Each structure stands twice: as C-alpha cells, then as structure tokens.
Amino acid sequence: MSDKTSQQELKTLAHNIQQWQEAKHLSDAALRKRFPDIGSDRTYKRILAGDLDELDVEVQLAKYRAVWTLIETIGDDAAESEDFYDDLTPVIQLRRALLETFHETGNARFILVQGDTGSGKTSAAKSLIAKYGQRLLFVELTEVFGDSPHNFLGLILMALGQKDLPYAPVERLQKVVAALSQGRRCLIIDELHHAGPRILNTIKTLVNSTPGEFVGLTMPPLWARLERGNYEECRQLVGNRLAERIKLAPVTRGDMTKFIARRLPGLNGETPKAIALLEQYAPGRGNLAFVRDTCRRAREMYEGEKITLEEFARAVSAEVESR
C-alpha cells in the first residue's frame, strides 16, 4: 500500500470514528477511555486535520483499523458502558483468567466460558475489549459459515481490518498466523458452539502456531452437543490446551444489587425487595440481561429522582410480557 493511500485511509477512519462519536454524544475523553488505541487528544486531532508528517502512519493505521472494526462490531454496546460494569462477576472472572493466561508460555492458552443466554459472556468480553483495545480481537461464529476454516480465517482477517482477503486457504492461514504473532493478541470467539471439527482443528493449529490467548464463548447445552459429535477435537482444546473453564451463573444477587444501586438510586431502601422480585423472574428470561433491561425500563418511569417499588414491579411485569 502506498504512503498516500495509507494516509488517506487513516484520515477516513478517523473521520468515521469522529462521526460515530458525535452521533453517540461522546466527549474525546470518553472516546479514548473506551478505545485507548485512539491515542492522545493531540494525536487524534492531528490525524483528523491530516497533519501526519511526524506520525508513524502504518502504526496508527493498524490501531485505527482495529478501533473502527471494534466500533462496527460492538459500537452500540461500547457507547452504553453504563449497561455493563467492570466489577460484575462475568467481567471479574474473565479478566482474572485472561491476566493469568497472559503469562503462559506453553500451549495452555485456551479459555472456555460457558453460560446461559444473558449470563454476561459477550458483555464481559466486550467490556475487556474496550479496556485493552487491539490487544483483544473479537469474532462471532454463525451457522451461515458452516464448518469452513476458509470462512473462519476470513472472519479473523476482516476483524483485523484487512480488506483484500487471499482466496487460497494456506495463504489465509499464513496471514492470520502472522497477524496474531505480531506482539501477543487474544482472539475471542463468540458462539463457539457453531464450530465443527474442521474449525476446531483450525483453532488448535492457531494455538500451536501463535503466542496469544484464545477465548471461546458458548452455552452449556450447545457445547455439550458439540462435544458429543466431535469428542476428540473438543478434547484436544479442553485437554492440555485449556487454561481455564469458566462456568457463569445465570445471575447473582451481588450483580443485581450493583445494577439496582447504580441505575435506580431513587429506590432507596426498597432495593432488597426489588431484588427479590428480580430473583423470581430473571432466571430463564434473559438472566442478567433481564435485570439490565428492567432497570432501563424502570428509569423511564422516574418522576424526579424517585421511583416506587410499585413502579418497579410494573416495569418487571412489562419486561416479562415483552419476552
């Protein structure tokens, strides 16, 4: 890529990021907090102005590609950090496992995170991506890809910001290995249960060939089904390559308390009763996501800074009916 082309792409990415920032009403400080790879305020403004003479354009381009890919993937979630907190149980468990695995030099660098829908798997991963920036890479498998290593590797390359994808499978693998070996990257694979034996073997190859960490997010029943059909391939990932298996609870009282205290401070002394209501309805109806959405719904009922338990109960009922 020529210098002029790289400079133009960098300026375009910066302006795309700025437009998204303005649409979400984020300050520069808030933007940098969510996406550290933006750089300093001075660097961001210089790139927007096209003043690139003293910058390493290729380094900044890699960072801004990663930021824009992250925004396209999880932008709305990243803009609403109040919806998920860094001290919730899923984030704490995944962060601890990652920090421990960051120092692993052998092949035990695969973390399996199992949890029901709404237990906080994906939100925890996105929270850590916003914190660590391009150190972490996020992809999501779907049934549409089939059990195709070719499609899987292409997904990773697109997440890395690469546009001209090689067609040859070996060349795709080589490019992914090279990219994941630049520094130490962590690949987070959401909906891992959509993999088959060929993609599982590809993940094993990447673990063997690169120095970073790998995180698989999945639901327990679907992972169990995958294991039954692909026992040997799964065993190779969760055998000597397993750093840790995290099993998330559907929802905890402590996490519900944090949501209520922070999102609905007007409840005052009614928080225990509100949590008792949530404990009746959240399990099996979205779990932690149910708590989050109920709090959002209840906020719409505020009158001034107060909300009654009766109003909260109506919000719970409305959320139950909407699911």
Whether 148 and 237 share a structural domain: yes
pTM: 0.75
Rounded CA-CA distance 125/148 in Å is 24
Whether 231 and 93 share a structural domain: yes
- Helix (H, G, I), strand (E, B), or coil: what is residue 185? coil
pLDDT tens per residue, range 162-181: 878 888 999 999 999 999 99
244 falls in which pLDDT band (50, 70, 90)? Answer: very high
For residue 91 the two structure tokens come to 């984030």
Rounded CA-CA distance 278/291 in Å is 7
Q: Which pLDDT does position 75 carry in this prediction?
A: 53
Residue 74 phi, psi (nearest 5): -135, 25
CA angle 303, 21, 129 (to 5 degrees): 95
Residue range(s) defining the domain that contains residue 240? 89-247
Whether 19 and 168 share a structural domain: no
Average pLDDT, the chain: 87
150 falls in which pLDDT band (50, 70, 90)? Answer: very high
Residue whose entry in the numeric block shows the structure tokens 């959002």: 296
Whether 173 and 49 share a structural domain: no
Q: Residue 97's closest CA among 224, 247, 258? A: 247
Whether 18 and 134 share a structural domain: no
Is 172 within the bounds of a domain? yes
| pLDDT higher than 60, residue 285 | yes
Mean pLDDT, residues 75-86: 56
Beta-bridge mates of residue 190 = 140
Mean pLDDT, residues 263-289: 88
Give the chain's domain count: 3
Q: Residue 53's closest CA among 103, 106, 101, 7? A: 7
- 218: DSSP letter: E
Give Rg (Cα) of the chain: 21
Whether 316 and 196 share a structural domain: no
Whether 178 and 300 share a structural domain: no
Whether 149 and 11 share a structural domain: no
| pLDDT higher than 90, residue 96 | yes
Select from 229, 247, 265 the last residue of a domain.
247
147 falls in which pLDDT band (50, 70, 90)? Answer: very high
More confident residue, 301 or 79: 301
Is 84 within the bounds of a domain? no
Straight-line distance from the first to the last Cα atom of the chain, in angstroms, rounded to the nearest whole number: 49
Is 83 within the bounds of a domain? no
Burial class (CB in 10 A: 0-12, 13-18, 19+), 313: middle
Q: Residue 202's closest CA among 242, 144, 150? A: 150
Rounded CA-CA distance 138/77 in Å is 13
Q: Name the region of 51 (left: φ>0; alpha: ψ -120 to 50; beta: rest).
A: beta
Whether 167 and 220 share a structural domain: yes
Q: For 25-34, 92-101, 283-292, which range has the lowest pLDDT when averaged over its residues?
A: 25-34
Q: Which pLDDT does position 74 carry in this prediction?
A: 58
Rounded CA-CA distance 194/136 in Å is 21
| pLDDT higher than 80, residue 71 | no
For residue 196 the two structure tokens come to 């088959």
Q: Which pLDDT does position 303 carry in this prediction?
A: 59
Q: Which pLDDT does position 2 carry in this prediction?
A: 59
> What is the DSSP secondary-structure string of 265-318?
GGGGGGHHHHHHHHHHHSTTTTTHHHHHHHHHHHHTT-BTTB--HHHHHHHHHH
Whether 118 and 134 share a structural domain: yes
Q: Which pLDDT does position 302 carry in this prediction?
A: 67
E strand or H helix at 245, and its extent? strand 242-247
**59-73, 178-192, 296-310: range with highest mean pLDDT:** 178-192
More confident residue, 218 or 163: 218
For residue 193 the two structure tokens come to 């249960």
Mean pLDDT, residues 247-276: 88
Whether 111 and 215 share a structural domain: yes
pLDDT tens per residue, range 3-25: 888 889 999 999 999 988 887 77
